[in-house]
Structure 1
Amino acid sequence: MKFRTLLAAAAGAVMLVSGTTMALAEKLVISNWDGYMPKDMAEKFKAATGIDLEIAVHATNEEIMGKVTASGGEGYDVLFVSSPFAEALNNLGLLAPIDHSKIPNLANLYPEANELKHDPGNTFSVPYTWGTTGLCYRSDMVKTAPTSWNDLLSPTDDLKGKITMLSTDRWLMAAGFLADGLSVNTTDQADLDKVRDQLIAAKRNLLAYDDTTFYSKLVSGEALMVQAWDGWCNYGITDKPDIKYVIPKEGSDLWVDTMVVTKASKNPEAAAKFIDFVMNAENGKWVVENIMYKSPNKAGMEAVDKSLFEKYPNMSITPAELLKYEQLRDLGNGMKAFSKTVSEVMAAK
């Protein structure tokens, strides 16, 4: 009996050590854009939960989409992707459902953040940032403030050669769609052909296609007007207050960047803990102050010093106003014709 007791105690100790080892060895693999969350996120998350983070970086949605579809999601736990890609991954059966009971900080979201068209109720994705796309310009150097997408596509002579547009497929085409009063999700061939021709004509007046340094071109004066995501325009405003942001009268798309959990994740509970940690008020506040994007995290937005909204007026767009704009959606089979059209624009001289 005594021997058995000692043996049982020893076994219990082994189980305890083994359990501790497993906890210490527990690790999540996150893929995100560079600089899109706090640099000390891994350290803070481990201190709070004991779980290690391995953070991979992807440059584009297309890059991580390719990796995940090729591997079936193996090797990844949580992905940061824009909503059309989250929707596509879910339609391919590669995402796990979001267990709201394990993410209490979802209560920090604005009510409107539960009404997003790509995923009503946030069943497979959790919104991280959201915003608009518009025109960012040098108010001290542009004779007439832009008000329309056509000011970008058919510029006045003084702006020719001093304009940049986004090269990312969905946003490049959206400029033409919005200018023509079309849905940003249209796949109608006649609409695609019309916008293709407009974008080819507009290409002749561009300084460049630019998705990453357009705000610095504005600061230097090399560019006078650019198509921009609102937060990236704020980077320019930081260095040059004469830079202004406007949503054209025809409107904007509503873009949403999200967090999703892969169905192949070996640690779904830990993944839920990570998302819950990201959704606390402190991290929501960091997003606004550092990425310069609006956050659907109401608690985070309310923690920000209100002077920030005065310096960057586009931060003050309300969730209700955002939801008036059409959200980019997964185009499914329609993406083939869409991508072909973009290729034709890019190949045109």
Structure 2
Amino acid sequence: MKKLLLGTCLLATPAFAEGELKVYHWFEYIPEELVQKFETETGIDVTIDTYDSNEAMLAALKAGKIGQYDVAVPGDYMVKIMGDEGLLDTFAPEDLPNFGNIAPQWLDVPFDPGRKSSIPYQWGSTAFSVNRDVYQGDIDSLAILFNPPAELQGKINVLDSQGEVLALGSIYLGIPQCSQDREQLKALSDMLVAAKAHWASFGSDTAKDVLVSGDAAAGMIYNGFSAKARAEGANVEYAFPKEGYVVWMDNVVLLKDAPNRDNALKFMNFLLDPENSAAVTNYAAYTSGVTGVDPFLADEIKNSPENNPPADQKGFFIEACDEETQKLYDAIWTNLKK
């Protein structure tokens, strides 16, 4: 894990310091300047450790890191899992003066009804991008990943993320995400194993870089990472496949036994300010879950093709399976990664 230590130069005198904040966060997802702004405004020292998948974050917390961090940034389905496993604390709306800035569609969400443990952070999609210098054919199907044309075989990077890989595989086959049907599960496993023969790598934190460097000609990717790759000069096009794609909402959650609970609430409230939320959007190239951000957004973010899916294409949230069903999917993933 990378560790980002921020603000020590800003808080040189102990008299000014107002404590600490320990954040468990996705990689390359928050601008350093915004964290420094929070430190300057509050006098709180922020430490950020990073992870590259929801599952890695959950495993680390369950392995003993709960009680070491104040907040984390899980995806929608992972919020529900963490809540069900007793890993989250709760707060009242009045604890966050900016609570009213939450966009209405992200307020009463099924993974945290009424927002008692989480606030919206950013939302976006997961599909794939293709280097148009390498492949000029249609990219309207998830077959690009799971039954790729000859030009892309051996040149595909896939996210090292169980949730997204299995969800997109299920969408491609047209089967439920939490199926208990043995034939459907076998079909999913067989399809993924066959597709793996055409993949060059698994990588989440490198998903953008391999497209920019040319080490991959196509890749499963988050829409914001694809926009960044394009901005860095890669001739890539992000696809919204006809079968569907994954839609996700990342959320900042208050963790159980947070050692700096009050500072965690200050940080969450800070992120609900439209200008601060827009700073994350401008950096990460996703979409904010807060109202009032438009005046602060860069034009290239507002007009990004990665943020404007066709009206006739459908997105699906990753579903949280019950414990017994999840074991079946864990087995498929373990077999795929061996």
**TM interval, short-chain normalised:** 0.7 to 0.9
Q: Is the 8 A contact 1:284 1:299 kept in 2?
A: no
Aligned residue among 256, 280, 286 for 2:249: 256
Aligned residue among 59, 71, 78 for 1:66: 59
Distance between the aligned counterparts of 2:234 and 2:181, measured in 1? 41
Residue-pair matches, total:
324
Q: Which residue of 2 is the match for residue 315 of structure 1? A: 307
Deviation at 1:23, TM superposition (A): 8.8
Q: Find out whether 1:327 has 2:317 as its counterpart.
A: yes
Deviation at 1:131, TM superposition (A): 1.0
Q: Which residue of 1 is the match for residue 23 of structure 2? A: 30
Equivalent runs, 1:156-167 vs 2, <5 Å: 156-167=149-160
Deviation at 1:282, TM superposition (A): 2.1
Q: Which residue of 2 is the match for residue 12 of structure 1? A: none
Deviation at 1:178, TM superposition (A): 0.8
Q: Find out whether 1:305 has 2:298 as its counterpart.
A: yes
Q: Which residue of 1 is the match for residue 337 of structure 2? A: 346
Q: Is the 8 A contact 1:109 1:299 kept in 2?
A: no
* Deviation sequence 1:273-316 (CA, Å, 0-9, x none): 11000121222111111112222123234421223333x21223
Q: Which residue of 1 is the match for residue 230 of structure 2? A: 237
SS at match of 2:128: strand
What 5-or-longer segments of structure 1 have no aligned partner?
1-20
Distance between the aligned counterparts of 1:339 and 1:65, measured in 2? 14
Deviation at 1:24, TM superposition (A): 4.3
Q: Find out whether 1:75 has 2:65 as its counterpart.
A: no
Rg larger in structure: 1
Question: Which structure has the highest helix share of the two?
Answer: 1
Aligned residue among 105, 108, 120 for 2:101: 108
Distance between the aligned counterparts of 1:163 and 1:34, measured in 2? 21
Q: 1:138 to 1:115 in 2, by over 3 A?
A: farther
SS at match of 1:228: strand
Distance between the aligned counterparts of 1:159 and 1:51, measured in 2? 48
Q: 1:105 to 1:160 in 2, by over 3 A?
A: same
Aligned residue among 177, 181, 184 for 2:170: 177
Deviation at 1:187, TM superposition (A): 4.7
Equivalent runs, 1:153-232 vs 2, <5 Å: 153-232=146-225
Percent identity between the two aligned chains = 25
Distance between the aligned counterparts of 2:218 and 2:53, measured in 1? 24
Paired residue type of 1:346:
K
SS at match of 2:292: helix
What 5-or-longer segments of structure 2 have no aligned partner?
1-13
SS at match of 1:134: strand
Q: 1:109 to 1:186 in 2, by over 3 A?
A: farther
Distance between the aligned counterparts of 2:213 and 2:46, measured in 1? 39
Q: Is the 8 A contact 1:118 1:329 kept in 2?
A: no
Paired residue type of 1:343:
T
- TM-score norm. by structure 1 comes to 0.83
Q: Which residue of 1 is the match for residue 8 of structure 2? A: none
Q: Is the 8 A contact 1:103 1:275 kept in 2?
A: yes
Q: Is the 8 A contact 2:131 2:218 kept in 1?
A: yes
Q: Which residue of 2 is the match for residue 294 of structure 1? A: 287
Deviation at 1:266, TM superposition (A): 4.3
Distance between the aligned counterparts of 2:179 and 2:120, measured in 1? 24
Q: Is the 8 A contact 1:32 1:57 kept in 2?
A: yes
Deviation at 1:41, TM superposition (A): 4.2
Q: Which residue of 2 is the match for residue 122 of structure 1? A: 115
